[in-house]
């Protein structure tokens, strides 16, 4: 009996010690801020600390004895169990998992697992340490969104587009499938954005993106590259013609006006198409070629699309060579001015000249302005060229003045890109710098440039007019100007475009248009000049209409400065009257 009593006392002491250790371990676990959960190898929970209570909302009494699966998100269970199996087989420490709280809220947690072992070193359970990383995951998602999605439209951006296209091209190669890239450039977006503001412009881009997305299949993709440029990627098409059909659907999607803030906005697009694998093996090549084709489509007066061809690429390379060569031409002094005389139709005297830029290429010789001026307009180089022309023309005028040449009005073409509220100040500073009076200078503006931001343009023209600068409206009749606007423009001269002079006096339509322009100019008390006059019959007809001045090959081609002044000094006339 004493032995039995001693044994009972010993067991009681051991039990008390064990309970004390368990209580101490529980207190320690409860002091840990993170959630700590112990379970057996079957997943049944054996310990649940205060951190777990705070994280999940379950008390230890509610959690202990349940299988850990009751905390899993249903759709993640299979993946989580696979991760647990991998941990038991190969080891591992940390993973990111989704779990569900008592409230039903799903959150992201960082989970670290450790093995529990018995006295013989055999695994008999797992202990998991969990911490809530939901905010971190949200931040990562926001960063990922900003990195791969366009902030305005919510569409994929260039980075994500390249990734998705390259992945799809790999699959297309395996399946020997066709694909297509459609480079989409919106027309008339810039004037809307500039006139109504960037907020309206952004909402317009959102509407356009939604229309494009609706017009495509779910398997296709549309991305925004930036500005007013979009790209649609078509995967697994059966014929290249299908890409043309989709391009037409995208164009048709823009037919209906977009209503924003009471403004009914109409916008269309130009689309270039490249085909995989015919045109290129990767997204970068296909995108470049689709861009080339888009520029061909943009040359059409109406909304259209164009497929890429190798000939287009050769043209694009040629354009690029012209652009880079033109940049160097300005630095190397390859640009020069020629002057075409303007003649009083009644006296035959030279009363002015138009300054025309020429490019003397070191290898090609004289490059036609028709070849490099449009490229200069598109690239913005026309601004620098225009400033150079103004400077050079005024410098030449100063040289002539010093040689005793009477004021010869020099006409200089102004590009739409040069139009700004600062232009009058720049012109005034230019005249002061060269010591010239305003009667030496005339600025030629096109009617199309006057149609945008009319009030601000008229204000600028009023300033120039007040300075004594003559203003001429070039290429009149070729644009879409309103006559109600014409009477508001403070211009001195209307210039009849050569396209309406060429057919006179034999083409009745050209005769009617030329006559109407001259008649209207006289009613508005404006001077009128006709360009492109090449024969005596045209001269006689224009004189009969009451035209004031002429310009053309009949009298003189564009000439270097010394030759045009030689003509002025010789006081040449247009022949007997």
Q: What is the pLDDT of residues 483-503, one digit of tens each?
A: 666 777 888 999 998 989 999
Domain limits, CATH 3.30.70.270, in the chain: 149-308
Residue 18: pLDDT band by 50, 70, 90 thresholds?
low
Q: Could you give the residue ranges of the DSSP H alpha helices within 48-153?
A: 50-56, 60-63, 77-90, 134-148
CA-CA-CA-CA torsion sign (245, 290, 144, 197): negative
- Ramachandran region, residue 468 (left: φ > 0; alpha: ψ -120 to 50; beta: rest): left
Cross-strand partners of 48: 37
Q: Which distant-in-sequence residues (6+ apart) come within 8 Å of 255 by Cβ?
A: none
What pLDDT band is residue 576 in, cutting at 50, 70 and 90?
very low
Residue 350 φ/ψ, nearest 5 degrees: -75, 120
Quick one: DSSP state of residue 67? B
* Residue 410 confidence (pLDDT) above 70: yes
Q: Which structure tokens are listed for 436?
A: 């010239």
More confident residue, 230 or 179: 230
How far apart CA 32 and CA 45 sit, in angstroms, is 18
The rounded mean pLDDT for the chain is 84
Percent of the chain whose pLDDT exceeds 70: 85
> Can you list the positions of beta strands (E) in 414-512?
441-446, 470-476, 493-496
**Residue located via tokens 């248009």:** 513
Q: At what angle do helices 381-402 and 310-332 cross, to 10 degrees?
A: 40
Give the CATH H-level superfamily of domain 149-308.
Reverse transcriptase/Diguanylate cyclase domain (3.30.70.270)
Please compute the mean of the pLDDT values over residues 505-524 and round it to a whole number. 90
Q: Are 375 and 320 in contact (CB under 8 A)?
A: no
Tokens found for residue 240: 């290249």
From residue 499, how far is each of 215, 443, 503, 504, 514 by CA, in Å? Answer: 42, 21, 8, 10, 10
Backbone φ, ψ for residue 424 (5° rounding): -60, -40
pLDDT mean over 70-81: 75
Residue 185 has pLDDT above 90, yes or no: yes
Give the best-scoring range by mean pLDDT among 16-25, 299-308, 527-536.
527-536
The pair of three-digit structure tokens given for residue 289, joined into one six-digit string: 């070629």
**25 compared with 125, residue with greater pLDDT:** 125
In terms of Cβ atoms closer than 10 Å to its own Cβ (0-12, 13-18, 19+), residue 329 is buried
Region 478-483 average pLDDT: 56
C-beta separation of 222 from 243 below 8 A: no
* Torsion, CA 449, CA 450, CA 455, CA 457, rounded to 10: 70
- State the Cα–Cα distance between residues 246 and 129, nearest whole angstrom: 53
DSSP annotation of 302: S
Radius of gyration of the chain (CA): 39
Give the count of beta carbons closer than 10 Å to the beta carbon of residue 4.
Answer: 8
The yes-or-no verdict on residue 384 having pLDDT over 60 is: yes
Residue 291 in this model has a pLDDT that exceeds 70: yes
Backbone angles phi, psi at 387, to 5 degrees: -65, -40
Inter-residue contact 286 to 172 (CB < 8 Å): no
**Predicted pLDDT of residue 573:** 42
Give the list of residues 6+ apart from residue 144 with CB closer than 8 angstroms, or none.
none
| Separation of alpha carbons 468 and 446, rounded Å | 20
| Statement: residue 35 has pLDDT above 60 | yes
pLDDT tens-digit readout, 419-478: 888 899 999 999 999 999 998 999 998 766 665 556 677 888 889 989 999 999 887 766
Judged against a pLDDT cut of 50, whether residue 525 lies above it is answered with yes
**CB neighbour burial string for 511-547, b if at least 16 within 10 angstroms, e if fewer:** bebbbebbebbbeeebbbbbbbbeeeebbebbbebeb
Pairing relation of β-strands 123-132 and 258-260? Answer: unpaired
Q: Does domain 21-138 sit in CATH 3.30.450.20?
A: yes
Question: What's the confidence (pLDDT) of residue 572?
Answer: 42
Answer yes or no: are the C-beta atoms of 542 and 514 closer than 8 Å.
yes
Give the residue ranges of DSSP H helices in 150-255. 158-175, 189-196, 198-215, 240-252
- CA pseudo-torsion sign 126, 129, 135, 140: negative
The CATH 3.30.450.20 portion of the chain extends over 21-138
Least confident of 71-75, 272-276, 298-302, 354-358: 298-302
- Find the mean pLDDT for residues 161-185: 86
Diameter of the chain measured on Cα atoms:
156
The Cβ of residue 394 has, within 10 Å, a number of other Cβ atoms equal to 22
User: Are the C-beta atoms of residues 369 and 358 closer than 8 Å to each other?
Assistant: yes
Tell me phi and psi for residue 564, to 5 degrees. -70, -35
In this predicted structure, what is the pLDDT of residue 337?
95
Structure tokens of 121?
């070193």
Q: Is the pLDDT of residue 575 over 50?
A: no
Q: Give the Cα separation of 273 and 237 in Å (integer).
A: 13
**pLDDT of residue 102 exceeding 60:** yes
Q: Are 524 and 486 in contact (CB under 8 A)?
A: yes
Q: Hey, which CATH number is domain 334-570, 3.20.20.450, 2.60.40.420, 3.40.50.450, 3.40.50.150?
A: 3.20.20.450
Give residue 577's pLDDT: 42
Positions of CATH 3.20.20.450 in the chain: 334-570
Could you tell me the CA-to-CA distances from 290 to 254, 283, 378 in Å, in that order?
20, 10, 18
Phi, psi (5° rounding) for residue 211? Answer: -65, -40
Give CA–CA dist 389/365, Å, rounded: 20
What is the mean pLDDT of the segment spanning 251-275? 90
Residue 173, number of CB atoms within 10 A of its CB? 13
Q: Rounded CA gap, 403 and 537, in Å?
A: 37
Average pLDDT over residues 516-541: 92
């Amino acid at each position: 009996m004493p032995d039995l009593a001693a044994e009972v006392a010993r067991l009681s002491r051991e039990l008390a010690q064990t309970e004390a250790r368990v209580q101490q371990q529980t207190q320690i676990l409860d002091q840990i801020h993170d959630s700590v959960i112990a379970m057996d190898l079957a997943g049944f929970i054996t310990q649940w600390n205060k951190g777990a209570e705070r994280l999940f909302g379950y008390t230890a009494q509610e959690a202990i004895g349940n299988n850990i699966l009751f905390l899993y998100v249903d759709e993640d269970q299979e993946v989580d169990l696979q991760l647990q199996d991998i941990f038991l087989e190969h080891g591992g420490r940390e993973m990111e998992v989704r779990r569900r709280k008592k409230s039903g809220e799903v959150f992201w947690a960082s989970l670290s697992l450790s093995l529990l072992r018995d006295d013989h070193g055999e695994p008999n359970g797992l202990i998991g340490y969990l911490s809530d990383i939901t905010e971190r995951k949200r931040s990562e998602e926001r960063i990922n969104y900003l990195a791969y999605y366009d902030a305005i439209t919510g569409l994929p951006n260039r980075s994500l587009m390249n990734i998705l296209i390259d992945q799809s091209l790999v699959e297309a190669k395996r399946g020997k499938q066709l694909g297509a890239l459609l480079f989409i450039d919106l027309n008339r977006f810039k004037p809307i954005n500039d006139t109504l503001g960037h907020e309206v412009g952004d909402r317009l881009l959102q509407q356009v993106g939604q229309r494009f997305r609706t017009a495509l299949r779910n398997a296709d993709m549309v991305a925004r590259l930036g500005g007013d440029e979009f790209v649609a990627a078509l995967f697994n098409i059966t014929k290249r013609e299908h890409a043309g059909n989709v391009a037409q659907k995208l164009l048709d999607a823009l037919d209906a006006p977009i209503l924003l803030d009471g403004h009914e906005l109409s916008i269309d697009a130009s689309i270039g198409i490249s085909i995989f694998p015919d045109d290129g093996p990767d997204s970068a090549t296909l995108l470049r070629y689709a861009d080339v084709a888009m520029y061909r489509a943009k040359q059409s007066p109406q909304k259209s699309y164009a497929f890429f061809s190798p000939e287009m690429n050769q043209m694009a390379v040629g354009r690029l060579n012209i652009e880079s060569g033109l940049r160097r031409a300005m630095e190397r002094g390859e640009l020069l001015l020629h002057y075409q005389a303007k003649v009083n139709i009644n006296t035959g005297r030279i009363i002015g000249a138009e300054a025309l830029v020429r490019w003397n290429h070191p290898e090609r010789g004289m490059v036609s302005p028709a070849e490099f001026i449009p490229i200069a307009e598109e690239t913005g180089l026309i601004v620098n060229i225009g400033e150079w022309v103004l400077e050079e023309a005024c410098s030449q005028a100063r040289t002539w003045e010093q040689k005793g040449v009477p004021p010869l009005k020099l006409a200089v073409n102004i590009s739409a890109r040069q139009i700004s509220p600062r232009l009058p100040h720049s012109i005034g500073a230019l005249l002061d710098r060269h010591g010239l009076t305003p009667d030496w200078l005339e600025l030629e503006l096109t009617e199309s440039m006057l149609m945008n931001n009319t009030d601000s343009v008229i204000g600028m023209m009023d300033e120039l007019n007040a300075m004594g600068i003559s203003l001429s409206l070039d290429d009149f009749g070729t644009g879409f100007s309103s006559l109600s606007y014409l009477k508001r423009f403070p211009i001195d001269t209307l210039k009849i475009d050569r396209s309406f002079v060429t057919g006179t006096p034999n083409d009745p339509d050209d005769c009617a248009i030329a006559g109407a322009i001259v008649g209207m100019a006289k009613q508005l008390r404006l001077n009128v000049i006709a360009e492109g006059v090449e024969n005596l019959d045209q001269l006689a007809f224009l004189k009969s209409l009451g035209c004031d001045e002429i310009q053309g090959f009949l009298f003189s081609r564009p000439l270097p400065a010394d030759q045009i002044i030689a003509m002025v000094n010789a006081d040449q006339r247009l022949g007997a009257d």
